[in-house]
Amino acid sequence: MSSTLQDAMKTQLDEIVASKPGEYVAAHVKTDAELKESGIKNHCLKTGEKIPSFSLPDGTGKVQNIFGFHDQQWLIISFYRGEWCPFCNIYLKQLQKHLERIENVPARLVAISPQLPDKSLSQAEKLNLKITVLSDVGNKVGKLFGLVYTVPDYLKQVYEKDGLHLEYYNGEGKIELPLPATYIVNRKGEIVYQFVETFPTDRLDPEQLVSVLKKLITMNQN
């Protein structure tokens, strides 16, 4: 990661470690270890595969079809957890700073979370985002990408002790979240690059994203 993103993530993580009880931090470390052991990353969509067709509501409730976003341009799809996740907010703000560069390539950036549309709208307004944010309530699309896991009961319990109730953001139902993931998709709907990790601080650096995107498009034109 670039120093800006890396420093912001480290500062936020250090603040959480210093301010939260030990069980809070331990629960996240345990969850990360279990996700790695499960091999979930091996079952997600990968380079060379096509993305599925899907439609999701944006923050205003308007339903958008994913293929309507990348007509005549490449597409970047970034999955994140939600407004309540400080690391997601840091990452979205970093993506926003690079949005003009991404759009000038040209490519379209879409961010997807399982939170309700009004929560996505609230987040976009608070962070002053111009990025298109879509709501994947129930993680239906995240599951098509193979990114979704069930939040362990022990993690849910420490969240609730800390005052975080994911049902408030995602709606009622099974408590599930997507892994942090970013995909670059060409005009044919094919994945040409993917970044998937298990720990919430690990994200594809926007600088690297722009660099890889430009390189891939140049290769595709030759």
Q: How far apart are CA 203 and CA 200, in angstroms?
A: 8
**What's the pLDDT score for residue 222?**
45
Q: Is the pTM of this model over 0.85?
A: yes
Q: Which CATH class is domain 3-221?
A: alpha beta
**What's the pLDDT score for residue 166?**
96
**Total number of residues shown for the chain:** 222
**What's the pLDDT score for residue 68?**
86
- One digit per residue, pLDDT tens: the chain, 222 residues? 556 898 999 999 999 999 999 999 999 999 999 999 999 999 999 999 999 999 999 988 899 999 888 766 899 999 999 999 999 999 999 999 999 999 999 999 999 999 999 998 888 888 899 999 999 999 999 999 999 999 999 999 999 999 999 999 999 888 999 999 999 999 999 999 999 999 999 999 999 999 999 999 888 764
Domain boundaries, the chain: 3-221
Spacing of C-alpha 16 from chain mean position? 20
Sign of CA dihedral 117, 144, 84, 66: negative
Nearest CA to 40 among 138, 148, 199? 148
